[in-house]
Chains A and B, each alone.
Chain A
Amino acid sequence: QVQLVESGGGVVQPGRSLRLSCEASGFTFRSYGMHWVRQAPGKGLEWVAAILYDGSKKYYADSVKGRFTISRDNSKNSLYLQVDSLRPEDTAEYYCAKDVQLYSGSYSVGLDNWGQGTLVTVSS
Protein backbone atom coordinates (compact mmCIF):
# COMPACT_ATOMS: atom_id res chain seq x y z
CA GLN A 1 0.00 0.00 0.00
CA VAL A 2 1.01 3.62 -0.51
CA GLN A 3 3.01 5.08 2.34
CA LEU A 4 4.39 8.58 2.79
CA VAL A 5 6.55 9.21 5.83
CA GLU A 6 7.69 12.72 6.67
CA SER A 7 10.63 13.61 8.89
CA GLY A 8 12.89 16.52 9.72
CA GLY A 9 10.60 18.74 11.76
CA GLY A 10 11.55 20.25 15.09
CA VAL A 11 11.91 23.41 17.12
CA VAL A 12 14.01 26.08 15.44
CA GLN A 13 14.76 29.74 16.04
CA PRO A 14 13.50 32.43 13.68
CA GLY A 15 15.79 32.92 10.71
CA ARG A 16 17.14 29.39 10.82
CA SER A 17 16.64 26.53 8.36
CA LEU A 18 15.33 22.98 8.23
CA ARG A 19 15.13 20.28 5.60
CA LEU A 20 11.96 18.24 5.60
CA SER A 21 11.91 14.83 3.93
CA CYS A 22 9.14 12.55 2.71
CA GLU A 23 9.96 8.94 1.96
CA ALA A 24 7.53 7.26 -0.42
CA SER A 25 6.73 3.60 -0.96
CA GLY A 26 4.05 1.41 -2.47
CA PHE A 27 3.75 3.25 -5.79
CA THR A 28 5.86 4.37 -8.76
CA PHE A 29 7.11 7.59 -7.21
CA ARG A 30 8.72 8.92 -10.40
CA SER A 31 5.34 8.97 -12.16
CA TYR A 32 3.45 11.31 -9.81
CA GLY A 33 3.51 14.96 -8.94
CA MET A 34 4.01 15.66 -5.25
CA HIS A 35 2.96 18.45 -2.91
CA TRP A 36 3.65 19.94 0.50
CA VAL A 37 0.68 21.23 2.50
CA ARG A 38 0.85 22.76 5.96
CA GLN A 39 -1.55 23.43 8.81
CA ALA A 40 -0.87 25.90 11.58
CA PRO A 41 -2.17 24.87 15.03
CA GLY A 42 -5.96 25.19 15.10
CA LYS A 43 -6.08 26.59 11.56
CA GLY A 44 -7.04 25.41 8.10
CA LEU A 45 -5.00 23.77 5.37
CA GLU A 46 -2.53 25.81 3.33
CA TRP A 47 -1.01 24.54 0.10
CA VAL A 48 2.74 25.25 0.14
CA ALA A 49 4.46 23.84 -2.95
CA ALA A 50 4.28 21.32 -5.76
CA ILE A 51 6.77 19.58 -8.03
CA LEU A 52 6.07 17.74 -11.26
CA TYR A 53 6.72 14.01 -11.54
CA ASP A 54 10.08 14.54 -13.24
CA GLY A 55 11.15 17.54 -11.16
CA SER A 56 11.09 19.78 -14.23
CA LYS A 57 8.81 22.41 -12.72
CA LYS A 58 8.25 23.67 -9.21
CA TYR A 59 5.54 25.91 -7.82
CA TYR A 60 5.21 27.83 -4.56
CA ALA A 61 2.62 29.70 -2.56
CA ASP A 62 3.33 33.43 -2.35
CA SER A 63 3.77 33.12 1.43
CA VAL A 64 6.87 30.90 1.03
CA LYS A 65 8.26 31.87 -2.37
CA GLY A 66 11.95 32.72 -2.15
CA ARG A 67 12.35 31.02 1.24
CA PHE A 68 11.25 27.43 0.60
CA THR A 69 12.60 25.03 -2.04
CA ILE A 70 10.88 21.83 -3.08
CA SER A 71 12.89 19.03 -4.67
CA ARG A 72 12.77 15.32 -5.28
CA ASP A 73 15.13 12.41 -5.85
CA ASN A 74 13.32 9.80 -7.90
CA SER A 75 16.17 7.33 -7.44
CA LYS A 76 15.52 7.45 -3.69
CA ASN A 77 11.71 7.74 -3.81
CA SER A 78 12.02 10.89 -1.75
CA LEU A 79 10.56 14.38 -1.65
CA TYR A 80 12.16 17.29 0.16
CA LEU A 81 11.31 20.77 1.38
CA GLN A 82 14.17 23.07 2.26
CA VAL A 83 12.77 25.75 4.55
CA ASP A 84 14.98 28.80 5.05
CA SER A 85 14.59 32.13 6.85
CA LEU A 86 11.94 30.63 9.07
CA ARG A 87 9.36 32.89 10.70
CA PRO A 88 7.04 32.24 13.65
CA GLU A 89 4.12 32.13 11.21
CA ASP A 90 5.72 29.08 9.54
CA THR A 91 4.91 27.06 12.66
CA ALA A 92 2.73 24.22 11.39
CA GLU A 93 2.32 20.55 10.71
CA TYR A 94 3.82 19.88 7.28
CA TYR A 95 2.30 17.13 5.16
CA CYS A 96 3.53 15.64 1.89
CA ALA A 97 0.84 14.44 -0.50
CA LYS A 98 0.61 12.62 -3.81
CA ASP A 99 -1.31 13.53 -6.98
CA VAL A 100 -4.22 11.30 -7.94
CA GLN A 101 -3.22 11.16 -11.58
CA LEU A 102 -0.12 9.97 -13.38
CA TYR A 103 2.07 12.53 -15.10
CA SER A 104 -0.01 15.57 -14.18
CA GLY A 105 1.13 18.97 -15.42
CA SER A 106 0.65 22.26 -13.63
CA TYR A 107 -2.74 21.12 -12.36
CA SER A 108 -4.33 18.23 -10.49
CA VAL A 109 -7.73 16.79 -9.70
CA GLY A 110 -6.86 15.87 -6.11
CA LEU A 111 -4.29 14.56 -3.64
CA ASP A 112 -5.03 10.97 -2.73
CA ASN A 113 -2.38 9.95 -0.24
CA TRP A 114 -0.96 11.96 2.62
CA GLY A 115 1.76 11.40 5.16
CA GLN A 116 1.20 11.67 8.91
CA GLY A 117 2.92 15.07 9.03
CA THR A 118 6.01 16.53 10.66
CA LEU A 119 5.74 19.45 13.07
CA VAL A 120 7.84 22.57 12.61
CA THR A 121 7.86 25.03 15.50
CA VAL A 122 9.58 28.38 15.00
CA SER A 123 10.26 30.07 18.31
CA SER A 124 13.02 31.95 20.05
Chain B
Amino acid sequence: DIQLTQSPSFLSASVGDRVTITCRASQGISSYLAWYQQKPGKAPNLLIYAASTLQSGVPSRFSGSASGTEFTLTISSLQPEDFATYYCQKLNSYPQATFGQGTRLEIK
Protein backbone atom coordinates (compact mmCIF):
# COMPACT_ATOMS: atom_id res chain seq x y z
CA ASP B 1 0.00 0.00 0.00
CA ILE B 2 1.10 3.56 -0.70
CA GLN B 3 1.59 5.53 2.51
CA LEU B 4 0.81 9.23 2.85
CA THR B 5 2.67 11.22 5.46
CA GLN B 6 1.51 14.72 6.33
CA SER B 7 3.63 17.21 8.27
CA PRO B 8 3.70 19.03 10.55
CA SER B 9 0.87 17.79 12.74
CA PHE B 10 0.70 21.13 14.52
CA LEU B 11 1.63 24.61 13.35
CA SER B 12 1.54 27.89 15.22
CA ALA B 13 1.63 31.05 13.10
CA SER B 14 0.57 34.68 13.04
CA VAL B 15 -1.77 36.62 10.78
CA GLY B 16 0.16 37.63 7.69
CA ASP B 17 2.61 34.71 7.86
CA ARG B 18 3.35 32.43 4.93
CA VAL B 19 2.89 28.77 5.87
CA THR B 20 3.47 25.49 4.12
CA ILE B 21 2.09 22.03 4.84
CA THR B 22 3.55 18.96 3.20
CA CYS B 23 2.27 15.51 2.24
CA ARG B 24 4.68 12.89 1.07
CA ALA B 25 3.60 9.72 -0.70
CA SER B 26 5.72 6.59 -0.44
CA GLN B 27 5.26 5.96 -4.19
CA GLY B 28 4.13 7.98 -7.16
CA ILE B 29 0.49 9.02 -7.23
CA SER B 30 0.65 11.37 -10.21
CA SER B 31 -1.58 14.37 -9.43
CA TYR B 32 -4.30 12.46 -7.59
CA LEU B 33 -4.07 14.54 -4.45
CA ALA B 34 -6.45 17.00 -2.82
CA TRP B 35 -6.26 19.44 0.10
CA TYR B 36 -9.12 20.23 2.48
CA GLN B 37 -9.74 22.71 5.27
CA GLN B 38 -11.92 21.72 8.21
CA LYS B 39 -13.21 23.95 10.97
CA PRO B 40 -14.63 22.58 14.25
CA GLY B 41 -18.09 21.08 13.86
CA LYS B 42 -18.09 21.52 10.09
CA ALA B 43 -17.61 19.28 7.09
CA PRO B 44 -14.30 19.48 5.21
CA ASN B 45 -14.02 22.06 2.45
CA LEU B 46 -12.06 21.35 -0.74
CA LEU B 47 -9.26 23.87 -1.34
CA ILE B 48 -7.06 22.29 -4.01
CA TYR B 49 -7.65 19.33 -6.33
CA ALA B 50 -5.44 17.53 -8.80
CA ALA B 51 -2.49 18.67 -6.65
CA SER B 52 -2.46 22.27 -7.85
CA THR B 53 -5.88 23.37 -9.12
CA LEU B 54 -7.61 25.94 -6.94
CA GLN B 55 -11.22 25.04 -6.24
CA SER B 56 -13.74 27.65 -7.33
CA GLY B 57 -14.44 30.21 -4.63
CA VAL B 58 -11.27 29.52 -2.65
CA PRO B 59 -9.09 32.60 -2.04
CA SER B 60 -5.98 32.88 -4.20
CA ARG B 61 -3.72 32.99 -1.13
CA PHE B 62 -4.09 29.18 -1.12
CA SER B 63 -1.94 27.26 -3.59
CA GLY B 64 -0.82 23.70 -4.15
CA SER B 65 2.26 22.27 -5.79
CA ALA B 66 3.90 18.94 -6.44
CA SER B 67 7.43 17.72 -6.89
CA GLY B 68 7.65 14.00 -7.46
CA THR B 69 6.00 12.38 -4.47
CA GLU B 70 6.02 15.53 -2.32
CA PHE B 71 2.97 17.76 -2.29
CA THR B 72 2.74 21.18 -0.68
CA LEU B 73 -0.12 23.42 0.40
CA THR B 74 0.92 27.04 0.81
CA ILE B 75 -1.02 29.88 2.38
CA SER B 76 0.72 33.03 1.26
CA SER B 77 -0.58 35.42 3.93
CA LEU B 78 -2.56 33.94 6.79
CA GLN B 79 -5.92 35.47 7.56
CA PRO B 80 -7.84 35.01 10.82
CA GLU B 81 -10.34 32.70 9.12
CA ASP B 82 -7.56 30.33 8.00
CA PHE B 83 -6.94 28.93 11.45
CA ALA B 84 -8.31 25.41 11.08
CA THR B 85 -7.20 21.83 10.46
CA TYR B 86 -5.89 20.87 7.03
CA TYR B 87 -5.88 17.42 5.42
CA CYS B 88 -4.40 15.99 2.26
CA GLN B 89 -5.99 13.00 0.54
CA LYS B 90 -4.66 10.71 -2.14
CA LEU B 91 -7.18 9.27 -4.56
CA ASN B 92 -5.02 7.57 -7.17
CA SER B 93 -6.47 4.13 -6.81
CA TYR B 94 -9.41 2.92 -4.78
CA PRO B 95 -9.67 1.54 -2.18
CA GLN B 96 -6.56 3.44 -1.14
CA ALA B 97 -8.17 6.89 -0.92
CA THR B 98 -6.53 7.69 2.39
CA PHE B 99 -6.20 11.00 4.18
CA GLY B 100 -3.12 12.44 5.76
CA GLN B 101 -2.98 12.70 9.53
CA GLY B 102 -4.00 16.38 9.53
CA THR B 103 -2.28 19.65 10.41
CA ARG B 104 -3.79 21.82 13.08
CA LEU B 105 -3.00 25.47 12.38
CA GLU B 106 -3.31 27.73 15.40
CA ILE B 107 -2.78 31.39 16.12
CA LYS B 108 0.55 32.25 17.69
Residue numbers of A with Cβ under 8 A of B are 35, 37, 44-47, 49-50, 59-62, 65, 95, 97, 100, 106-117
A46 to B4, CA, bound (A): 13
Decide: A108 near B97, CB < 8 A? Known: A44-B102, A45-B87, A45-B102: yes
A117 to B51, CA, bound (A): 26
**Contact between chains at A112 and B46 (CB < 8 Å):** yes
Interface: B31 (CB within 8 A): yes
Size range of the chain B interface in the assembly: 20 to 34
Q: Which of B49, B51, B98, B100 has the most CB of A within 10 A?
A: B49
Closest CB of chain A to B87's CB: distance in Å?
A: 5
Closest CB of chain B to A36's CB: distance in Å?
A: 11
Partner of A117, one of B43, B46, B48, B99: B43
**Contact between chains at A114 and B43 (CB < 8 Å):** yes
**Contact between chains at A45 and B94 (CB < 8 Å):** no
Q: Mark B80-107, 1 if CB is under 8 A from A, else 0.
A: 0000000101011111011111100000
